[in-house]
Structure 1
Amino acid sequence: MKIQGKMFIWLSFFILAMAVLYGLWSKEPVGTTALFMAFGLAIMVGYYLAFTARRVDAMAQDDKEADVADEAGELGFFSPHSWQPLSLAIGGALAFLAVALDWWLMFFSLPVILIGIWGWVFEYYRGENQNQ
């Protein structure tokens, strides 16, 4: 985490320099304000990472001799297959089409979305993937 904190702090100083240069050169208030806000965001993230790095143990990214696999851990459980995202995608596409064309199409998209959500939530309570 130490290297990320340093990177964000250096990035914030670069953004500050560019904000001052841009503000003096262009005299455009919106872009200058956006750059100063980006400076604030970068300095907050950099300070948080540097502050947190002092409280946690050294991680693999802080060691120059570390391998990529040193921080690898369990990735978690991933569903082998599911048809529910297809149902949600079709329902979502119909819902956005309803916004673009006319609201009556929402009456057809809402049941498709609800069926997709219901199926996805209860996917492991029935069928071959049921937990015993």
Structure 2
Amino acid sequence: MTSGAKLFYGLAVFFLVMDVAYILGTKYLVETNRVLGTEWAGVTGFSLALLLSLMLAVYLHLTDNKTDIGPSDWEMAEIEDGAGVLGFFSAGSIWPLQLTIAVMMVAYGLAFWHFWLIVAGVIFLIWGSVMMNLQYGVARDDH
């Protein structure tokens, strides 16, 4: 089992214990001589965190069964064993900033319920994601 799967299984157990403690703590909490009920917002948050960490742990566990052992799980590994090409990174690209602004527009539109801002943000989001994907597929003169 990979170290990542172990980490997320442990996190799932932690969230399960915290969820049970939160349910019992809020159900039987006595404040000024009256018994309060269970506080469901926190229970929902802990339950969703439990499900998310369990989902990631199962995914990493199943993926590990299909792949070869990685350098992070090999006891005799050196730092150099994990080195190599990690992928292409475009440091001079403006499109991640544009996508961030578009997501911010959508979020503010949803938060303040401005339909025009939601529509403008979605349009900018689609345009920015298309342009980021086509950034190196279009000739430099056509930009």
**Within the alignment, does 1:62 sit opposite 2:73 as a pair?**
yes
Query: What secondary structure does 1:25 align onto?
Result: helix
Alignment of 1:43-82 (within 5 A): 43-79=54-90, 81=92
Query: What secondary structure does 1:47 align onto?
Result: helix
Q: Report the residue type matching 2:139 in the other structure.
A: Y
1:106 aligns with none
What is the alpha-carbon distance in structure 1 between the residues aligned to residue 68 and residue 77 of structure 2?
15
2:9 aligns with 9
Q: Which moves more between the two structures, 4-13 or 63-72?
A: 63-72
- RMSD of the TM alignment (CA)? 3.9
TM-score, scaled relative to structure 2 = 0.57
Structure having the higher Rg: 1
Aligned-pair distance for 1:72? 2.1
Note the alpha carbon deviations across 1:37-62, whole angstroms, 9 max, x for none.
Answer: 21111111111211221221111010
Decide which structure has greater helix share.
1
Alignment of 1:1-132 (within 5 A): 2-26=2-26, 27-79=38-90, 81=92, 84-85=94-95, 89=98, 121=134, 125-126=139-140
TM-score, scaled relative to structure 1 = 0.61
Structure 1 gap ranges (5+): 104-109, 128-132
Q: Report the residue type matching 2:12 in the other structure.
A: S
Query: What secondary structure does 2:10 align onto?
Result: helix
Count of residues in Structure 1 that have an aligned counterpart in Structure 2: 113
Note the alpha carbon deviations across 1:69-96, whole angstroms, 9 max, x for none.
Answer: 31222244445746x55xx75xx59xx5
Q: Report the residue type matching 1:74 in the other structure.
A: V
Q: Which aligned runs of 4 or more in structure 1 are off by greater than 3 angstroms?
A: 75-82, 120-124
Aligned-pair distance for 1:121? 4.3
Q: Report the residue type matching 1:126 in the other structure.
A: R
Aligned-pair distance for 1:28? 0.6
What is the alpha-carbon distance in structure 1 between the residues aligned to residue 54 and residue 78 of structure 2?
29
